[in-house]
Chain A
Amino acid sequence: MPISPVESRKQPSLALNVGSQPKKSISFTGSVKRNQSKGYAGANQSRMGTSRILTILPETKVEKMNISATKLVSQVFDAHGVDVTPRPLYHPDPHLVSGKPNKLLTSQEGSFVSEFVGSHTLYQNTLNPSVLGLFTRSVFGSSTVSKSSASTTESIAEDLEETSYKREGLTSFTDLRVMRKTTGKILTKEDLEKIVEIILTETETLRLFDLPTVVISVEAEEAAKVIQRNKNYENLCRNRLGNDLYVERMMQTINGAPKNKDVQCDRIIKEDKGIMSTAWDLYDSYNALELSSVPVRYSTVDLSTKASAPSKDQDQRGPGSTTEKNSEASSIMEIENVILAKMHDDQEDHSDAILKSEKFQQDLFFMERVLMENIFQPKLAAYRQLPILKEPEPEELEDFSESEKIEEIEEDFKKEEEEIEINEEQSIIPANLERLWSFSCDLTKGLNVSSLAWNKTNPDLLAVGYGHFGFKEQKKGLACCWSIKNPMWPERIYQSPYGVTAVDFSVGAPNLLAVGYHNGTVAIYNVQSNSSVPVLDSSESPQKHLGPVWQLQWIEQDRGTTGDDKREILVSISADGRISKWVIRKGLYCHDLMRLKRTTFGSNKRGGEKEKKGEALISRQAPGMCFAFHPKDTNIYLAGTEEGHIHKCSCSYNEQYLDTYRGHKLRMRAEWRFGTFTPAHCLLVGDSDGQVAVYELRNIPTALDSGRRDMIDTLLGPSSNQPG
């Protein structure tokens, strides 16, 4: 048992519990130590530079180790003094020691010194780290004890003190352990969301148990030998029974004394995590991987632009929506906001962001439509000729119809199938009209409807122009686009200082709505956008109309001469006696198709002699009221004037009428349709007398039918029946 040479060794001992008072250890170690200074040496591996070895035995370790009372630094000697102490299973790497400041030691010196006193003499490499497991990591760069057990405590103490200063690396693993504990930093949210790469590799194969096989293939090389041996053995067994060569005898073997050895490992921390795997989850994860290649900056840029864009839209919209109710609502909302404002700023900003987001507006829009559908379901269904959903309760709800019984509604429903238009028609069987709903809201109260136009592509969209018919009092006008899906609030609202007198949707570009005003301006709106500013305006055009524009229509014209394809032009007729064609190039360009002249006058003056006021009676021009184009040949059209004449004109000639028909008085509206019952063309004309006249146009128009109505505008719905 050579005492370990004067080299320092790493002491795989423990200084874990800084504050632990090792009184216990002192007490018992004191008794034991003396005997055990004998070298333990053989087992040491770790060596270091200084002079002594010191060990510290925190009592916890002591307890945990559960060794016999002689504990930690126990050394086992058999009868002959042979050192048979079990060797450590773990040998700490001497190179791992780093020069850490020995704060543990310095702070604990007091306590440790006493320990040292007790324990120092003996321990060389005490404590099998194996026994202590991870605990036994504290290392003292200290010197070995070359003293014998007989060294006095004082000298020992001195030595201890010396070495305690010299200790370079108490690289206690306890140090490390302590450090480890503090380095368990709080993971921030970003850390949690960071993508951590975990590389799984295969470790080398650890053989825990090796049971070599006792089976050999018949085809192996040793097979023959093995077979022979097996045969021999069998023979032997067989011969053994009665054979004298073999005698049975009992023996007793010495059973070694069993020894218990306990080991404890670190507590294995387990965590439960559950997840439900769904098809969409997988799909999302795959997509997220693809999308993650897009730089994050883009997304932030997008967010910022998106946030600004909807706010702009909202600012532009809603010029007419500032009623008193709105201000009340906003004040209530503000109170609510104040109550809710007790949350942090983040959340407030967030909720504002939510409210302003485009998706939210869209959702609101849909929600309103859904509500409308709920309220107006019977009416809408009747309109669309779908079955009406009956409510389970016997009481029927919203009714615009006269009766409230269910049977009547069913009756009416059948009759409505015939009468869907707004216009009335004469027929032999007196038809019954049920009013389905009316488009009205606060904005339109008090305004007269001056014109209507259905959108050709979206049959649910109706444009309505509001104006005033008393010409003395001209108030602000309004053009609204209503959708059937929402009879209570228009989809688009375009306000203007002048009354609207004519509206029409374009066929080729169904998002364009042309609006004609009482002051002669023609404006074109794009209904797809939310802005209330017209796309084009004719107010700066030098050739604009000077009188109210009574009718507007989009016509597709063959522009064969100019080499273009069919192009759509806007034709307007106004009270200043001109029929103009507007072409959209870079602005609105006007071109006169025809100047209507009074036929009672003979003169043909034109040029710059136009009065300013449209309805001046002394004008030489006849104020035009309406026109209708031939459905097939867009070169020919009929124009009606205030005098009551209908002129047949052609686009090719802008001076002369082709023909003139008389018969009406004042203020007409005309619609030209190809009759469904007759092969000829029919013209439907209504005038301010309350007469509706249907003309069949051959050479001389004759009135075929007339009836009394009082109406201002005749607009035939898309599925109208023409009386023949």
Chain B
Amino acid sequence: MAEVEETLKRIQNHKGVIGTMVVNAEGIPIRTTLDNSTTVQYAGLLHQLTMKARSTVRDIDPQNDLTFLRIRSKKHEIMVAPDKEYLLIVIQNPCE
């Protein structure tokens, strides 16, 4: 457990990382470094997108599954590691 905390902390302290969030399947944040409203917003939107992405991947090949999702935008990069029970979201600004 301490290992997990430590890794989360290291991730948060990486260069350019704006926020780190872990939300459960219902969209309730378990760990977050951003404020609650932002977290809930991200969680809700990314949850839908992840489901859509996963559906796409599996429609093409049902034995495949989504492991990681990266969204590169002008300002940030949003990285999502989805799972059935949680979402791990990290927002990084790589051009800092």
Contacts and interface: CB of A to CB of B under 8 A. Distances in A.
Tell me whether A and B are bound partners.
yes
B11 A361 contact: no
A365 interface: yes
Chain B contact surface mostly: mixed
Given A355-B1, A374-B92, A321 B31 contact: no
A321 B9 CA distance: 12
B3 A361 contact: yes
Contact of B94 (A279, A284, A354, A375): A375
B88 A363 contact: yes
Contacts of B14: 368, 371-372, 375, 488
A80 interface: no
A355 B90 contact: no
B4 A279 contact: no
A371 B81 CA distance: 12
A354 to B, nearest CB: 5
Contact of A354 (B11, B68, B86): B86
Contacts of A261: none
Nearest to A316: B3
A391 interface: yes
A326 B77 CA distance: 27
Contact of A398 (B7, B15, B55): B15
Interface residues of A, number: 50
Interface in A88-132: none
Contact of A278 (B32, B59, B77): B59
Contacts of B31: 333, 336, 355
A279 B59 contact: yes
Q: Which of A283, A329, A367, A377 has the most CB of B within 10 A?
A: A367
Contact of A351 (B8, B11, B16, B24): B24
B33 to A, nearest CB: 9
Interface in A534-555: none
B59 A280 contact: yes
Contact of B88 (A314, A364, A372): A364
A192 B77 CA distance: 42
A436 B36 CA distance: 39
A27 interface: no
A278 B90 contact: no
A280 B62 contact: yes
Interface string B10-34: 1100111100001010001111100
A350 interface: yes
Contacts of B30: 340, 351, 354-355
Main secondary structure of the interface of A (DSSP, over half): helix
Interface in B36-93: 55, 58-59, 62-63, 67-68, 70, 74, 77, 79, 81, 83, 85-86, 88, 90, 92
Given A391-B94, A391-B95, A397-B94, A280 B5 contact: no
A650 to B, nearest CB: 48
Given A355-B1, A374-B16, A360 B88 contact: yes
Given A314-B2, A370-B68, A371-B92, A280 B55 contact: yes
A359 interface: yes
Nearest to B55: A278
Contact of A347 (B24, B77, B83): B24
Given A391-B95, A397-B94, A397-B96, A318 B6 contact: yes
Contacts of B3: 314, 317-318, 321, 361
A194 interface: no
Interface string A324-361: 01100110010010001001000100110011110111
A371 B2 contact: no
12 contacts: A278-B55, A278-B59, A321-B6, A322-B2, A326-B2, A329-B5, A350-B24, A360-B86, A360-B88, A363-B81, A363-B88, A397-B94
Interface of B: 1-11, 14-17, 22, 24, 28-32, 55, 58-59, 62-63, 67-68, 70, 74, 77, 79, 81, 83, 85-86, 88, 90, 92, 94-96
Given A340-B30, A354-B24, A393-B95, 8 more contacts: A278-B59, A284-B62, A321-B2, A364-B88, A366-B68, A392-B74, A395-B95, A397-B96
